[in-house]
Each structure stands twice: as structure tokens, then as C-alpha cells.
Chain A
Amino acid sequence: MSGLAIEKISMRFDLPGGGSVQALKDVTLHLKEGELMSVLGPSGCGKTTLLNIVAGFLAPTEGQIVMNGHTVQGPDAERGMVFQQGALFEWMSVRENVGFGPRMKGMPKMDMAETVDHLLDVVGLQDFKEKAVYELSGGMQQRVALARCLANDPDVILMDEPLGALDALTREKMQSLVLKLWKETGKTIILITHSVEEALLLGERLLVMAPRPGRIHREYRLPFADLGVGQDLREVKKHPDYAKTREEILAMIWDMEEEIMGRTEGAGA
């Protein structure tokens, strides 16, 4: 069985001061190969925890992740990860960063150079090959991070708010790039984001999570990611369903936020 199965994941941990937190409860989800899924939710809904469990950095208290027919026990090169920022190795050049995965696997130098060159072409950083990563702008750094992840040829790419720290213009360009890479490579991608627009544009499937305990609130299947592959994302945003869905999700998240606020205020009083 290929693809990724998240089976009845629950996550509960004790707090240092006593008591415990139910970060996730009974999350079940199946991803087919090549699916692009965005995950959205108010802060504290456990979306990053979920991603860390899928990546293998955390072990769930209940349930399991099944990937390509085996249970996930820890991090592995089959599940690549792109972080928000600051996860590049600043002691390596752009080329060395992108070639990190292949090098760890002991890929022959020639093949590695070829892979790196190809990916730098794809993300448009061929001219910056020998630069130090801290000399690049934030957007360029994230392109390096994408290329580094792809160089390892993972089956699933997990993205934890990869564009969160970028400015609006750079962000739009990067969203197109993510769509392009998705179509060209056919990878399964899970993308976590704070931005409703980003979740709409970069989600074949869009998952809205609810907090306390973290759970799946609602799932959408959207046409925008497919539409966005060949065309300008501003055109996609003119689609009649786009504004409607956006309003619906925004309202949903506002309700959740308000509920949280009310609950904490109630607890404080």
C-alpha cells in the first residue's frame, strides 16, 4: 500500500505543573500518493504537533502513522521536511546545503552534482550556488530549503509554515513555485499554514482543525490548486467559489477563536 495513513492519532502529555494537555484526539486521515493537502486552524489546534508526529519527531500516545506499508518509528529520508526558517546550515554554501541529503546517503559525487544543479535550476538559484546561505534573502533561503528537501527525493514533503516569514510579494511567487514543484514532481505534500488564502491556493484538500482537543473539524476538496498550476494566482482568486469558501473558513476560525477567548476569560473570572 502506498501513500500515507494517519490512524487514530491521539497525543496527550503531562504538564510540568501538574495536569495534562490533550493536544490531539482521534485524528484519522489518508493521503493518496501525489495529493496536496493544506492544514489550517487557530493557534493551539495541534497542527504542528500532528506534522511532527508524521515526520517522526514525536511518538503519539495512541494510534500510528503508516507509510508505504510500515509503521513510522522515527524521522526518515522518505519524509522530507521544510521548516519556517533558520533550518538551513549556515556553515555550508547553497550547493552544499542542497546536496546534504545525497551526501549523507553516500551518493557518488558526479550524480550528486547533477542532482544539485538540476534542482538549483528548478528553484532558479543557479547563480547563487557558491554563496553562503546567510547572504541570501528570506525568499531565496526558502527556495534553498525546498531544493534541499527535493534533492533527497522523499515520498512525502511536510511543510511547517514554510512561507510564514516572507513578505507578501515574495510569498505569492513562492506559492506558485510550490504548485509548480508539486505538479512536476508528483510528491505528496502536507502544508501547514496560518493564512487562509495560502491554504485555499495550496490545497487540493484543505483540512480545518479545531482546538482543545486538537481534531479535524472539516475537510474541503478544492479546485484552486489545479487551476493555479498553469496560471497566475491572482486569476485563481477571481474564481467565484474562492471568495465564498474563504469567507466560510474565516467565519469558522473566528468562531473557534472566540470560543477559546470566552473559555479563557471564563476560567480567569
Chain B
Amino acid sequence: MIPLLIYVAIFVLSYYLFTKVIHHAARNDYTSLKTVTFGDESAVRPNRTASVISILTLFLLWGMFTGSSLLPKFLHMPGPFEGTATFEYTAQTPDGQRDTATVTVLVHPVDEEVTEPEVDPGDGWAKNDSATIGTWRSGLIRVDRNDDIGRDEGAEVVAVNGKPIAPGGSVETEFGRVGMSPKGTLNFEPAKGWQMEPIWLPAPEAVAARVVEIAREGFRGSTLWEHLGYSLFRVVVGFFFGALVGIPLGYAMGLSDWFRGWFDPIVEFMRPVPPLALIPLVIIWAGIGETGKIILLFLAALWIMAIAARSGVSGVKISKVHAAYSLGASKPQIMRHVIIPNSLPEIFTGARVAMGVCWGTVVAAELVAAEKGAGMMIMVASKFQNTDIVIMGIILIGIIGFGIDMLMRWAERILVPWKGKG
């Protein structure tokens, strides 16, 4: 909730600052002269300042709530309590005698080895205690263990820091919460602060360090580039075969009624089946090796490419075909010079979609079973609670997916400049 509020606050504040304070001096192009902008879609272009602030905000929040060393200390959210905490408990014997003792708890980072602090047992029959608890953890403290009159003798703890406590209840202290189990044992939970524990969300620099480490040393016997390369290789090979079969199939469906009738039910049925649903069957048939993955990606790309090629052929304006016939072109010439170039924009759109689907499918397939690959990497890491590797993997998968899309768009601009101009 708090991160969301901070996020909204930054959004509103930066919007106000930018539009009211800076914006006026900036632009003087045609769009800025339009008086009607609300409702005119063409006047809405992404504000790059907003994009930059947006990304910075995400990293800022990430750093704030993980105590990142990249941020100055004053921006950090309150971290978990660390150090020596104390509280007092009051025990009472069945005949009404009360005595108070102090509990000293050393709260330490989980990955540090510490010893219990030495404390003076103190006066009275209730003796002072000591314990160690990791930050973000909690621990039972048997305070009566060293008392002269303990639980077995009928004594029970009735108050913490002077505030009465009963089994199942709790008392807040300045160092954290002291609770009492139904059997009467105290349970100390040091204050957690607002930061995320690294096991849930590591700091950005920890993730970056992981990238460097894994890029250098590899993960599970393969380098980072091997993992990513394997995933990419599967996508490219699967897509290649999908296109190799799908495009001619689509052309045949666009040009012959028999082909259209024959393959329509198959294509129309297979298209809505998510490729992920085929993973179990593919594993049964082809195992978890490369063949299975490539078959899966082939199937993911095949229908998309077939449908794209089919609609590319169906989309050819009849006047273009008529014109070509009137100019003396033969059927193969019409195919080569009219139908194929006319269908290329559609095929490129299909290829972009297919590549995106393939990339998603390969990661999912690797999550299920693989020896190498980006998906396998994050799946294995998650089993060992290596959240930093998981986050690193997600970011890399995102970057590659985005890169593939950019590459396809670039290829489209270069190779089919006539797209949408017919």
C-alpha cells in the first residue's frame, strides 16, 4: 500500500511540475499549436520525460524498500530492527508472588554467526534471560527455563513491560512484538520495518552483482550466454520450421478451395489451443530434450504463419490481379510478382506475433523441464530461493523479448516499406 501511495504521489507531483512549470517554455512545433488535443489521438505522443521519470521511479521504489546502497540513506524506508533489544517480564507463582526479570535479545542479520549475550542473572527468583534472533525472524524464548520457580512449579508470565499478557495475546514494545503462545511461552518478533527481506526482493545492486557473477561463472554448469543462447536457438529453429511449413500451407489455403476446405478445420481448431497446453503431450512424445522444445515451438509458429499467409493472399485486391492478367502475366508470374509481394506485410505481422508467442512458449516449456535455458535458470533459482537470479532472469527475458520485437519491426520497415500503403 505504501509503495503504491509513493508511486502515485511521484506521478502526480512530476506531472504537475512538468506540465505547469517546465512545459510552457519547451515546444513550438505544429502539434503544440493545436488547441484541440483532448480527443485528438494524433496529438498524443508519449512524453519522453514521463517515460524517464517512470523508470527512475520504479528503481527508486525498488531501492527504497530494499535498503539499496545505491540510494542515500535518508531515502531508505525504515529497515528491520538490528542490535540489542530488551524487555521485562513479570512472572507470578500460584500463591501470588510476583517477580520481574529482563530479557536481552541480540537481533542480528541472518547470515551472521553470533553468540548469546552474557547477562547477569539478577536478583529474585525470576532470572534475567538472553537470546539471539535473526532480523525479520521471530523466536520462542523460554524465559522460565532458568527461573527458580518455573512453569513446572506453576509460575506463569503475567505481564511484559508492565502490561498484562495472557496466552494468545501480545504486547508491543519499542523493539518489536512480544507474543504469548497458548501454552504460555513468550515469542519475540523484532520490528520488521518497511523494507523487503532480500529473500523476497533483493536490492537492485544485488541483482546486478548476480548478473556479473553468473555471466562470469555461469549457472548450473552453463554460462549465462549458453542459457539465453539455447532459448533463442530453440525459438529461431522452431519459428524457422513453422514458417517453412506454415507459409506455403497458408498460400495453398488462400489459392485452392480444396486446400482451404481440408486444412480449415485443423488450423481453426489448433489456433486457439495455447501452445502451453501441448507441453505435456510433447514431453510424452519427444521427451524433454531439444526435439520436444523445437516441435512445440514449431507448432506454436505454424498456425500463426499459416493464417497470416492465408489472409495475405486473400487480402490481395482483385483489381491488382486483374491488372496483372491484362498486362499479360501468367499464373506463376502473378504468384511471383503480385501475390507474394502483396502478402509480405501480413506475413511480417504474423512473424512478429509468432516470434513473441514462441519466446513466451520457450520460457514456459523450460520452466517445466529443461537442462539449459532462461526458463530453467529462473525455475531452478526459485527452488533455492535465489530471488536475485529469478529477477535477473525475468529482466533478461523481458529485454530479449523486446529486442526480438524491435528487430522484427526494423526488418519490416526495411523489407516491406509498402506496408499499409496499398
Question: Who on chain A is nearest to B319 by CB?
Answer: A87
The distance from the CB of A76 to the nearest CB of chain B, in whole angstroms, is 7
In the complex the two chains form, what is the Cα distance from A169 to B338 in whole Å? 32
Q: Which residues of B contact A76 (CB under 8 A)?
A: 326, 328
**In B371-422, which residues have CB < 8 Å from any A CB?**
416-418, 421-422
Say yes or no: is B330 at the interface (Cβ < 8 Å to chain A): yes
Q: Which residues of A have CB within 8 Å of B418?
A: 90-91, 132, 134
Complex: how many Å from CA A80 to CA B323?
8
A234 at the binding interface (Cβ < 8 Å): no
In the docked arrangement, what's the CA distance between A77 and B341, Å? 22
CB <8 Å contact, B327 and A100: yes
Determine the distance from Cα of A88 to Cα of B417 in the docked complex, in whole angstroms: 15
The answer to whether the Cβ of A105 comes within 8 Å of any Cβ in the partner chain is yes
Contact B322 A104 (CB under 8 A): no
User: With A90-B421, A91-B418, A134-B421 in contact, is A104–B319 under 8 Å at CB?
Assistant: no
B326–A77 CB distance below 8 A: yes
Main SS at interface, chain B:
helix
Q: Are B326's CB and A89's CB within 8 A?
A: no
B417 contact set on A, CB distance < 8 A: 132
Quote the shortest CB–CB distance from A257 to chain B (angstroms).
27
Let me know if A104 and B341 touch, CB within 8 A: no
A75 within 8 A of B: yes
In whole angstroms, how far apart are the Cα atoms of A79 and B418 in the complex? 28
**Interface residue B333 (Cβ < 8 Å from any Cβ of A):** yes
CB of A105 within 8 A of CB of B421, answer no
B367 contacts the other chain (CB 8 A): no
Are A55 and B322 in contact, CB atoms less than 8 angstroms apart? yes
Residues of chain B contacted by A100 (CB below 8 angstroms): 324, 327, 329, 337
A55 touches B326 (CB 8 A): yes
**Contacts A86-B422, A89-B338 given; does A104 touch B329 at CB 8 Å:** yes
Query: What is the CA–CA distance of A90 and B322 in the complex, to the nearest angstrom?
Result: 15
CA distance A57 to B329 in the complex (A): 14
CA distance A76 to B327 in the complex (A): 7
- Give residues 51-92 of A contacting B (CB, 8 Å): 55-57, 74-77, 79-81, 83-84, 86-91
Partner of A89, one of B325, B330, B333, B337: B337
Closest to B338 in A: A89
Residue of A nearest to B318 (CB): A57
Question: Which range contains the number of B residues in contact with the other chain?
Answer: 20 to 34
A207 CA to B324 CA, complexed, in Å: 28
Q: Is A148 an interface residue (CB 8 A)?
A: yes
As a 0/1 sequence over residues 332 to 349 of chain B, the CB contacts with chain A under 8 angstroms (1 = contact) are 010001100110100000
Interface flag for A211 (CB, 8 Å): no
A104 to B332, CA, bound (A): 10
- A4–B327 alpha-carbon span in the complex (Å): 18
A101 at the B interface (CB under 8 A):
yes
Q: Which residue of A lies closest to B344 (CB)?
A: A91
Given A75-B322, A81-B322, A83-B322: A91 in contact with B328 (beta carbons within 8 A): no
> What number of residue pairs across chains A and B have CB atoms under 8 A from each other?
77
A91 touches B342 (CB 8 A): yes
From DSSP, what is the main secondary structure of chain A's interface residues?
loop
Interface size on A, residues (CB 8 A): 29
B-facing mask of A16-49, CB < 8 A → 1, else 0? 0000000000000000000000000000000000
Q: Min CB distance, B277 to chain A, in Å?
A: 38
Q: For the complex, is B73 an interface residue (Cβ under 8 Å from A)?
A: no
Among residues of A, the one whose C-beta sits closest to the C-beta of B325 is: A75
In the bound complex, CA of A198 to CA of B325 (Å): 27
Asked whether A101 lies within 8 Å of B327 as measured between CB atoms, the reply is: yes
B151-201 residues with Cβ-Cβ distance < 8 A to A are none
Q: Which residues of B contact A104 (CB under 8 A)?
A: 324, 327-330, 333, 337
- In angstroms, Cα B406 to Cα A144, docked, is 35
B145 within 8 A of A: no
Determine how close the nearest CB of chain A comes to the CB of B310; give it in whole angstroms.
19
- Measured CA separation A251–B329 after assembly (Å): 43
Tell me, yes or no, whether A188 is within 8 Å of chain B by CB. Answer: no
How far apart sit A83 and B319, CA to CA, in the bound complex (Å)?
7
* Complex Cα–Cα for A79 and B330 (A): 15
In whole angstroms, what is the CA distance A158 to B319 when docked? 13
In the assembled complex, the Cα of A100 lies from the Cα of B325 at a distance in Å of: 11
Which residues of chain A (148-181) have a CB below 8 Å from chain B? 148-149, 152, 154, 158
The answer for the CA separation of A88 and B341 in the assembled complex, in Å, is 13
Chain B residue with the shortest CB-CB distance to A75? B325
Known: A81-B322, A81-B323, A90-B421. A101 touches B328 (CB 8 A): yes
Q: Which of B117-167 contact A (CB under 8 A)?
A: none
> Once the chains bind, are B422 and A79 in contact (CB under 8 Å)?
no
Residue picked from B344, B416, B421, most chain A C-beta under 10 Å: B421
Residues of B within 8 A of A75 (CB): 322, 325-326
What would be 28 A-B contacts, judged by CB atoms less than 8 Å apart?
Answer: A55-B326, A74-B325, A81-B323, A83-B323, A86-B319, A86-B320, A87-B317, A87-B320, A87-B323, A88-B323, A89-B337, A89-B338, A90-B422, A91-B344, A91-B416, A100-B337, A101-B327, A104-B327, A104-B329, A104-B330, A104-B333, A104-B337, A132-B418, A132-B421, A134-B421, A149-B326, A149-B327, A158-B326
Besides A77-B326, A87-B320, A90-B421, 18 new A-B residue pairs in contact (Cβ under 8 A), listed by A number: A57-B325, A76-B328, A81-B326, A87-B317, A87-B319, A89-B324, A89-B337, A89-B338, A101-B327, A104-B329, A104-B330, A105-B328, A132-B418, A134-B421, A149-B326, A152-B327, A152-B328, A154-B326
Closest 6 CB pairs of A and B: A77-B328, A134-B421, A75-B325, A101-B327, A91-B341, A87-B319
